[in-house]
Structure 1
Amino acid sequence: MSIQTLIESMETLLDLHQQLLAMTVKKTEVLQKNDIETLSNMLREEQKVLTAIQVAEQKREKASLLITNHPGEATVSEILKELNDTDQEKLSELQIALIQVLGELQEANALNQQLLQYSLQFVNMNLDLLAPEQELPNYTKEQGPANPYSDHKRSMFDSQA
């Protein structure tokens, strides 16, 4: 029972991560078009998928705990040692597919992060153009020839005497 639960939770995790990857790729297009409203809607949908991933991950952790009887979190490699050949093969395939999807997801997220960074730099540059820095007032101390007596920090009248 717990082996089947583990395989089902891994399949669910793989499906949810594939959905998240598709959303991330679509988010790249939305960022390039600078469509803020669509991006906001996508972020809400993405949050729902992330919540479902957390639930599936908790289910996977419980199933792996039942299989290995380890109090700590068991790795898939440890679990594979305790399964028969058909379950080992299925779980190994799911592990490889999940690792591949996670790698693609990391790459897509890195691209989106760069796009957001460039967009932020562009906005900051435009703000700087619209509100330039104030010029220094005219009554500041001029940088003229050095006065040999200006290094003294005392006035002509010595008040300490």
Structure 2
Amino acid sequence: MSFQGLLIALNSLIDIHDELLQLARDKVTIVVRNDVDALMALTAKETRLIARLEDSFREMGSSAADSWKEIGLTARPGSRLSDLIQAVPRADHKTELRTLAARLKERHNELKVINERNQLLIQQSLELIRYELDLITGPSEQEITYAPPSAGQGYVGGASRRSFDTRA
């Protein structure tokens, strides 16, 4: 039944979000400890979870399309899960879908906040590294951008040559 497939897909999405939340929390301590190897291992786990998330999301879309057909309606382009919940005729199914959708949205929002915080933490860590490198290497003596030589710093190794002979 397509409704059961939709419930399974939503539960799978919630489980994956829970795993991503745990990894995001772990990432905070890893970044603070500056453990690059652990960060790379964690990133590999995140990549695998994101692949699973995409599969579950596709499964949810497929199950949602089947659910629309099952209730005898066609999904509009851009229709959302909330639209399907309103169209479901059974109250117990609506309640179950609303509960799962609310849990998924809650996990998604929490993950978004933690990821934004982690991104800020990583940016601050990179700024600290740049600052420490500047302290070690010292200030740059030479400008990096091009500037034409000033009038007093021209060629001084002989008589200046004109590019246009006025005697001709």
TM-score (norm 1): 0.81
Distance 1:71 1:96 in 2: 22
Q: Note the C-alpha offset of 1:73.
A: 4.4
- Counterpart of 2:9 in structure 1 is 9
Distance 1:67 1:82 in 2: 10
- Counterpart of 1:77 in structure 2 is 82
Aligned residue pairs, count: 147
Distance 1:77 1:141, change over 3 A: closer
Unaligned 5+ segments in structure 1 are 144-157
Q: Note the C-alpha offset of 1:119.
A: 0.8
Superposed CA offset, 1:81-110 (max 9, x none): 232111110110011111111111011001
Superposed CA offset, 1:104-159 (max 9, x none): 101100111111101110111111122221268xxx8699xxxxxxxxxxxxxx95
Specify the code of the residue in structure 1 equivalent to 2:44: R
Distance 1:114 1:45 in 2: 21
8 Å CA contact 1:61, 1:73 repeated in 2:
no
Distance 1:135 1:2, change over 3 A: closer
Specify the code of the residue in structure 2 equivalent to 1:111: R
Unaligned 5+ segments in structure 2 are 69-73, 144-148, 153-163
Distance 1:101 1:70 in 2: 26
Specify the code of the residue in structure 2 equivalent to 1:2: S
Specify the code of the residue in structure 2 equivalent to 1:57: F
8 Å CA contact 1:64, 1:74 repeated in 2:
no
TM-score (norm 2): 0.78
Runs of 4+ in 1 over 4 A off after TM superposition: 140-143, 158-161
1:41 aligns with 2:41: yes
Identity of aligned residues (%): 21
Please report the RMSD computed on the Cα atoms of aligned residues, expressed in angstroms.
2.4
Q: Note the C-alpha offset of 1:160.
A: 4.4
Of the three residues 127, 133, 136, the one matched with 2:133 is: 127
